[in-house]
Structure 1
Amino acid sequence: MKSGEDASTALQINCRGRLLDLSSGPKIMGILNTTPDSFFDGGSLHKKSGGIDLDRALDHALEMIREGASIIDIGGESSRPGAEKISVREEIKRTIPLIELLQRKTDVLISIDTYKAGVAEKALQAGAHLINDISGFTFDAALPAVCRHYSAAVILMHTPVKPQSMLWSTDTGSDKGDILARVSCFLEQSIAVAEKNSIHDIIIDPGFGFGKSVEENFRLLDGLSSLKTLGRPILAGLSRKSFLGYAVTPEGEEMLPPSERLPATITADTIALINGANILRVHDVKEAAQSLRVLEAMKRF
């Protein structure tokens, strides 16, 4: 939070001249993956002959907007544990044509899910409004300068390790200390880097599922409101994550796949909203919007 700024002002994010007003209530970010290997919907927008099916991708984006998404988050590289790293050129090829098409067809806020300065710059030139960096400005030292140059808003996420080095584990404990303290310290440093680069429109993301044990993810969800002390809006990305699948799978059975984790996701999203989340990043916009409306109704009656 900038000096002299109140909590309401901190919830008003300037996205390259477009206002994302979170003071009026939480918003929904719809996930649009153009990757062939994402953990849930990887490859669903690819043609059988190869390449992105832009018409299908646009239709999916427009459907999410109709269902209640205020932001569409476009990603061209999978960040699932063990995912293969791709080149800047390939990531640009997967994302920029869709950004160009989407910004011509709708006025929705567009986010690019990337930690690479080269991809971010092309996305911003194509019309993106936010940079969603899973690394919290730790993977590419050139990214903050790009965000500053284009006056982009940023989403800074906590991750202790690159996706290529992450391994899924069903461990329920951790010997690394308090997860909330570690996430808070990391994000505080990320915010400092952003502010040093004159970037003040910042959203934070605790990074559910990224290098965290099952227990740590639930501790993080339970204590999400403690991150409010950082003075920034909070994004929660819980959609169909493995730790939810682990929690709802009957003992001794094979873990439920992402396709069967929607009820668990809705429950987790609702807890996140109760605990202070300002943005939900989801695959299933309609269901998330209904959860949000129920909570809003509870406040009215």
Structure 2
Amino acid sequence: MNLKPTDKSRYRLECAGATLDLSARPAIMGIVNLTPDSFFDGGSYGNAGETAQLERALESALGMIRAGAEIIDVGGESTRPGAEPVSADEEMRRTAPFIALLRQHSDALISIDTWKSEVAEAALRAGANIVNDISGFSFDSAMPEVCARHRCGVVLMHTPAKPDQLRWSYNTGAEADEVTARVTGFLRRSVEVAREHGIESIIVDPGLGFGKTVEENYRLLARLDELHELGCPVLAGVSRKSFLGQAIRRPGEETPPPAERLYATISANTIALLNGADILRVHDAKAAADARAVVMATRGAR
């Protein structure tokens, strides 16, 4: 593990009128899923679009910001393996009003977790700064133009397929040896598309947990710093994911559910930071902020 940070003096990203400064320390991205079926927090805030739901989600988001999150990532469609797709209209109904409400209460950066250009357009108009596209611009050809026009930041993630086509993958095998090259090649093409459209505020995400075996996920986590060769900040999203459950499962017992994966998540977040992550995407902002503080103190001591 590398306690010496990569030179990140260039990692100041202009995101639709706001600046995301990753040059001094990594950022925390807190997750607000306004969905009934996300794998950990689905349905946490109540029925989509209701005033009570918006208020509970707002309280959660503001709590994460107070705990140290610089970004709130808002999702209106579950991306867990096998999740049923929703229409763009439904996704907009779930997310745009909340983004507008959060913007009234906070200057924190807001990210919209979507691969649909119509949803991104509505979110950016409502006050979002970043588009977090799990497809790395590969699902919707109109997405780069929307992002370029709004001069927003983008997160480009690797996934081999849409969520409804993915399945939980616990298999092991030699394919883990080449997953880093496969993911890096995919993301390089995504970055090229973004830059061809004049987008410069780019973050890359290896897509941990998306269509990868347990061994492949850990290989990517161990070699996260290699993604910096793309010239972009790196996001790690490990929070409470199934491959963590596989590591902590005791012989003869079931895999611990997401609610029992907090300590594993803290460990994985710390490893991600030591291996070069510039952003942690998390459900538990305080725990992630504490892990960040310890890593930064250790780096400072060197």
Is the shorter-chain TM-score for this pair beyond 0.5, marking a shared fold? Answer: yes
Structure 2 spans left out of the alignment, 5+ residues? 1-5
CA deviation profile, 1:188-235 (whole Å, cap 9, x unmatched):
000000001110110000000000000000000011111111110000
Matched, 1:159 2:145: no
Q: Which amino acid aligns with 1:40?
A: F
Partner Cα distance (2:140, 2:52) in 1? 26
Distance 1:69 1:60, change over 3 A: same
Check 1:109–1:48 CA distance in 2 against 1; reply closer, same or farther (3 A cut): closer
> Which residue pairs with 1:223 in the alignment?
223
CA distance 1:51–1:273, change in 2 (3 Å): same
* Matching residue's letter, 2:145: A
Q: For each residue in 1:110-157, what CA deviation from the matched residue of structure 2 results, as whole angstroms up to 9, or x when unmatched?
A: 000000000000000101000000000000000000001111110000
* Deviation of 1:87 (Å): 0.2
CA separation of 1:120/1:127 partners in 2, compared to 1, >3 Å: closer, same or farther? same
Q: Secondary structure at the match of 1:28?
A: strand
- The one-letter amino acid of 1:110's match is I
2-structure distance, mates of 1:86, 1:52: 22
Give the number of equivalent residue pairs: 296
Q: Secondary structure at the match of 1:53?
A: helix
Given residue 97 of structure 1, which amino acid in structure 2 is its aligned partner? Answer: P
- AA aligned to 2:197 is N
Q: Which residue of 2 aligns with 1:92?
A: 92
Q: CA deviation at 1:169?
A: 2.2
Deviations 1:254-298 (A, max 9, x none): 110000000111101000000000000000000011111111111
Tell me how far apart the structure 2 counterparts of residues 249 and 8 of structure 1 sit (CA, whole Å). 37
1:49-108 deviations in Å (ceiling 9; x for gaps): 978711111000010001000000000000000000000000000000000000011101
Q: What is the letter of the counterpart of residue 53 of structure 2?
A: D
| Partner residue, 1:179 | 179
Bigger Cα displacement from structure 2, 166-175 vs 128-137: 166-175
Matched with 1:3 is: none
Q: Name the residue aligned to 1:265.
A: 265
Residues 49, 93 of structure 2: 8 Å contact kept: no
Paired position in structure 2 for 1:195? 195
Structure 1 contact 34–52 (Cα < 8 Å) conserved: no
Q: Provide the C-alpha distance between the structure 2 equivalents of 1:283 and 1:104, rounded to a whole number of angstroms.
A: 22
- SS in structure 2 at match of 1:85: coil
What is the CA deviation profile of residues 157-199 of structure 1, one whole-angstrom value per residue up to 9, with x for unaligned ones?
0001111011102112254860000010000000000001110
Contact kept in structure 2, 1:10 and 1:233, CA below 8 Å: no
Structure 2 CA distance for aligned equivalents of residues 48 and 144 of structure 1: 28
Counterparts of 2:176 and 2:262, CA distance in 1 = 30
d(CA) in 1 for partners of 2:156 and 2:82?
21
Equivalence for 2:3? none
- 1:237 equivalent in alignment to 2:213: no
1:300 CA drift (Å): 2.6
Is the 8 Å Cα contact of residues 65 and 108 (structure 2) preserved in structure 1? yes
Give the letter aligned to residue 258 of structure 1: P
How far the C-alpha of 1:17 sits from its partner, in A, is 2.1
Any stretches of 5+ residues in structure 1 without a counterpart?
Answer: 1-5
Q: Residues 53-202 of structure 1: matches in 2 within 5 Å?
A: 53-175=53-175, 178-202=178-202
Shift of 1:8: 3.8
Q: Letter of the aligned partner of 2:258 in structure 1?
A: P
Quick one: distance in 1 between partners of 2:48 and 2:299?
48
SS of aligned partner of 2:96: helix
Contact map agreement 1:7 1:231 (CA 8 A) in 2: no
Q: Is the 8 A contact 2:34 2:48 kept in 1?
A: no
SS in structure 2 opposite 1:32? strand
Q: Which amino acid aligns with 1:188?
A: R
Deviation at 1:16, TM superposition (A): 1.3
TM-score (norm 2): 0.95
Residue 285 to residue 49, structure 1, CA distance change in 2 (3 Å):
closer
